[in-house]
């Protein structure tokens, strides 16, 4: 065995080089182990799970894929839109207002499901391309 620093010959089991004093024994292996690279795998998100969560309640799919702010906003706004708007429009505009309101709620709900599905696919594409989470 030879010293990595000065090239001097070292006997087996010797911890230090007799020429330069460089540590070459058991301590070197411990030092080298500190600098080993580790691979961390990041799991992909299921687009189907994201869509189903958003089908159950608006915003859950967005939270699942890591868009916490958007998900919380949808969780807060959706019930206000659903129940508050329903009462106001039913009283103020009657049947026509109720139909318009129902169309708006359904459009927002479908967009929410599609958005969660799309975000999960973007998340997975970014992980495949870079190995890191996109947001």
Structure tokens at 135: 């947001």
35 versus 60: the higher-pLDDT residue is 60
What is the reported pLDDT for 20?
A: 83
Q: How many helices (H) and strands (E) does the chain have?
A: 5, 0
**pTM exceeds 0.75:** no
What is the reported pLDDT for 97?
A: 75
**pLDDT per residue over 39-96, tens digit each?**
667 889 999 999 999 999 999 999 999 999 999 999 999 888 888 777 776 677 777 7
Give the DSSP letter string of 57-92.
STTHHHHHTT-HHHHHHHHHHHHIIIIIHHHHHHHH
What residue has token string 């330069």? Answer: 20
**CA 87 to chain centroid:** 38
What is the reported pLDDT for 26?
A: 55
Domain spans of the chain, in order of start = 1-38, 47-130
């Amino acid at each position: 065995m030879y010293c990595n620093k000065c090239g001097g010959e070292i006997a087996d089991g010797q911890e230090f080089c007799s020429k330069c004093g460089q540590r070459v024994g058991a301590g070197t292996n411990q030092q080298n182990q500190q600098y080993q690279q580790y691979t961390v795998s990041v799991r992909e998100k299921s687009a189907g799970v994201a869509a189903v969560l958003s089908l159950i309640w608006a915003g859950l799919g967005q939270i699942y894929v890591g868009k916490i702010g958007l998900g919380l906003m949808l969780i807060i706004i959706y019930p206000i839109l659903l129940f508050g708007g329903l009462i106001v429009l039913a009283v103020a505009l009657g049947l026509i207002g109720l139909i318009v309101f129902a169309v708006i709620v359904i459009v927002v709900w479908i967009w929410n499901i599609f958005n969660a599905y799309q975000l999960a696919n973007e998340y997975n594409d970014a992980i495949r391309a870079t190995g890191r989470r996109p947001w």
